[in-house]
Amino acid sequence: MSKRLAWRLGALCALWLLTATVACSSGPEARPDDAPDTKNADAEPPLIERDVLFGNPERTSVRISPDGQRISFLAPIDGVLNIWVGPVDQPDQAKPVTQDKGRGIRSYSWAYTNEHLLYSQDKDGDENWRIYAAKPDGSAPVDLTPLDKVAARINYTSPQKPDEIVVAINDRDARLHDIYTINVRTAERTLLETNPGYAGFVINPDHKAAMGIRMTPDGGSEYLVRDAEETWVNHLSIPMEDTLTTRAVGFGQDNNTLYMLDSRGRDKAALFEVKLDGSAEPKLVGESPKADINRVMTHPMTRKLEAYAFTYMRRQWVVLDDAIKADFEALAKVNPGELHVVSRSLDDSRWVVAFEQDNGPIEYYAYQRDTKVAKRLFSNRPALEGLPLTRMHPVSIKARDGMELVSYLSLPSWHDKDGRPDQALPTVLLVHGGPWGRDSWGYSSMHQWLANRGYAVLSVNFRGSTGFGKDFINAANLQWGKTMHDDLLDAVKWMVDQKIAQPDKVAIMGGSYGGYAALAGLTFSPQTFACAVDIVGPSNLITLLESIPPYWAPLLEMFAKRVGDPRTEEGRALLTERSPLTHVDKIVRPLLIGQGANDPRVTQAESDQIVEAMNTRQIPVTYVLYPDEGHGFARPPNRLSFFAITEAFLKEHLGGRVQPFGDDFKGSSLKVLSGETEIEGLKTAFEAHMNQAQP
């Protein structure tokens, strides 16, 4: 159903997440000369090379064409991810249909023409997205939105309108996305709806704007419909406390039935059928007492509800339609991994499914529904097969006020004794972005890397994380650097009490909000952490909110209610007090900062400010910048270089295992702006890299 998600507010909120693109590629297993004998199960296994963990996947993002005849996936060409297409039964016959040579293609979809593949691309991470249509014959892709400094995004595609897509474009007003239809064959663009100030629109399968979504001054939202006079009038009111847990997810078998995830009048978001004309009361379809429903599965053509899923510690599916019950039962016998139905033919005769595990690659299968036969296609990261990967253990941690924090713990495989280490270990607290995102069970390159280097790794769903009900989210309102940070401190205390972590050797690391948490760790609790790694994290909450992209303007009231209001004296005082920059003089532990120069969400100024303040006070800090990156590091050479630096940094302060820098700076745009002598070997390696890069 993901291709038909009409409501964009949830997606806009998700922009705050650091999108981790640290997928793995093929590569040899490394074994240093002094590695111990691995015949003993408790002996340290060989190091897993960084390029295996953080390089490109061999094949990923598998899709089947709407007619079920072809299969597509992302795979590298000269180290850059591109779209490949081949016969569904012969994936090895696939050929590339794009030739991107820059940051690579990270997401795409089939158009319902069966003759076009749609993808978005920006320039060096600036998030000024353009939408392209490529053909399976490999002819040059067509730019469907040839507009500068515009963030275009696909809003809706429908099999009822196979030749056109609905696209949101902010070309008229940078703050607002108007709605257009674009013919994928001719690239002709037609205005569908001028945006009068809305956060987004709900588009129906006939490519009409069925509802508008408007933020209210109290941080809530309204779903509006047109009356008989074609005037937008309020139809549904969503209080502020429900905005992150209530949203439309698509239309049912008629354009009058809307499927919604709704937390109003309850804590956990449940699945409802809503009649837009008010002819019936909303119908409860499914719910969970433990978690929000977060996945909905519908028939690709009829849009009949078939199943839903929720994720507490692990994902659970509930099948609603007996027509697919036998399919889920058959697939459960194919592979022990967690099932994902990732793509389906329009007639629903063929599926592409993926099985995810915590200690191995994702396995893709082509599934034929009439025979109930699943044929293995490939894994996304075959280089991981047979490597000494570790398990990810779900754990529940009690915060000081009794809130339950669902968390995920990984241990070095040679220390893992049924989810607990045989001794206290140096530890990395890995904090997710958002903050309105969450950590989940499954394969994590970061967990595997850090555990392989000898660290315990813990990811905590602190208050404000999504999926655990609105009360859990709303407990974080105006609590950046306060109770949200207390949850992280409580997790550290739990690890120490459980004899998982050595109390003087705990690092905090994360990106986006996780980067803020790393900075908060060194400023609000300066004695707790041995060191910190901040990736594209904000240091000054006032400048963060004042520099948000213009098209986030409709969401400003939500930020004001949940983070702080930079427009009021009281709000600015709170934001100043919660900003790590304000408390920079309290930093006494080592800090590493990584930043993308083109980041539109957390701009370079956020890192520049705190580095300048630290340099002025002669507080050591290592600061690295990537001129061709945005909010996170998309290019594999940049990822490899940053994690090589991080690994050396952690080795210095936690004492884990380390792989030498080697040639992991090759091809990167790395610039070391401060503190190159603070990490052993960095200055020499960086100078060698710069000398090699000279023409």
DSSP 164-231: EEEEEEEEEETTEEEEEEEETTT--EEEEE--SS-SEEEEPTTS-EEEEEEE-TTS-EEEEEE-TTS-
Is 415 part of the annotated catalytic residue set?
no
Regarding beta strands 416-417 and 420-421, do their DSSP bridges make them parallel or antiparallel, or are they unpaired? antiparallel
The closest of 594, 661, 663, 662 to 629, measured between CA atoms, is 594
Position 586 scores a pLDDT of 98
- Region of 93 on the Ramachandran plot (φ > 0 left; ψ -120 to 50 alpha; else beta): alpha
Reading the block at residue 63, the tokens are 């899709």
One-letter amino acid at 493 equals K
Tokens, residue 183: 């013919």
For the chain, the first-to-last Cα distance in angstroms comes to 50
pTM: 0.93
Candidates 109, 512, 668, 669; catalytic one = 512
Peptide bond into 695 cis (omega under 30): no
Distance between CA atoms of residues 217 and 225, nearest Å:
19
> What CA–CA distance (Å, rounded) separates 350 from 370?
9
Residues of the chain with pLDDT under 50: 1-40
Give the 3-state secondary structure of 596-651.
ECCCCCCCHHHHHHHHHHHHHCCCCCEEEEECCCECECCCHHHHHHHHHHHHHHHH
241 contacts 193 by C-beta, under 8 angstroms: no
Return the CATH number of the domain spanning residue range 62-160. 2.120.10.30
What does the pLDDT read at residue 31? Answer: 30
Which tokens hold the place of 354?
């993926």
Check if the beta carbon of residue 442 is closer than 8 Å to that of residue 528.
Answer: no
CB 58 within 8 A of CB 378: yes
Instruction: Calculate the alpha carbon distances from 363 to 2, 377, 387, 443 in Å.
Output: 21, 8, 16, 12
CA distance 123 to 127: 7
Catalytic residue, from 599, 628, 653, 664: name it.
599
Three-class SS state of 135: coil
Task: Evaluate the CA torsion angle 421, 426, 432, 435 in order and state its sign.
Answer: positive
CA angle at residue 654 from 648 to 656, to 5 degrees?
65
Instruction: Give the H/E segment covering residue 327.
Output: helix 322-332
Catalytic residue (one of 207, 393, 631, 689): 631
Residue 10: partners with Cβ closer than 8 Å, 6 or more residues away: 244, 247
CA dist., res. 373 & res. 533, Å (int): 47
Q: Could you give the C-alpha distances from 290 to 246, 269, 311, 472, in angstroms and in order?
A: 16, 10, 8, 12
- Strand ranges (E), 385-455: 392-398, 404-410, 416-417, 420-421, 425-431
Cα distances (angstroms) measured from residue 585 to each of 174, 482, 495, 524, 614: 38, 19, 28, 11, 8
The DSSP letter of residue 8 is -
Cβ neighbours around 265 below 10 Å, total: 7
- CA angle, 617 as apex, 611 and 622 as ends, to 5°? 35
For 91-134, the pLDDT digits (tens) are: 999 999 999 999 999 999 999 999 999 999 999 999 999 999 99
Quick one: pLDDT at residue 278?
86
Other beta carbons less than 10 A from residue 188's beta carbon: 13
d(CA 599, CA 124) in angstroms, rounded, equals 9
Active site residue 42: no
Would you say the CATH fold of 392-693 matches that of 62-160? no
**Gap between the Cα atoms of 682 and 674, Å rounded:** 11
User: What's phi and psi for 349, nearest 5 deg?
Assistant: -80, -25
* 418 Cβ contact list (under 8 Å, min separation 6): none
Our answer to whether residue 396 is catalytic in this structure is no
Residue 43, pLDDT score: 85
| C-beta atoms surrounding 2 within 10 Å | 12
Question: Comparing C-alpha atoms, which of 504, 503, 480, 370 is closest to residue 431?
Answer: 480
d(CA 23, CA 51): 10
pLDDT score recorded for residue 695: 66
In angstroms, the Cα distances linking 133 to 28, 80, 203, 290 are: 36, 18, 21, 42
For the chain, the domains span 62-160, 392-693
CA angle in degrees (0–180, nearest 5) for 77-81-84: 75
CB-based contacts of 650, cutoff 8 Å, min separation 6: 428, 450, 453, 455, 507, 531, 533, 656
Fold of 392-693: Rossmann fold (3.40.50)
Contacts with 457 (C-beta within 8 Å, 6 or more apart), sequence order? 409, 410, 411, 427, 428, 430, 446, 447, 450, 451
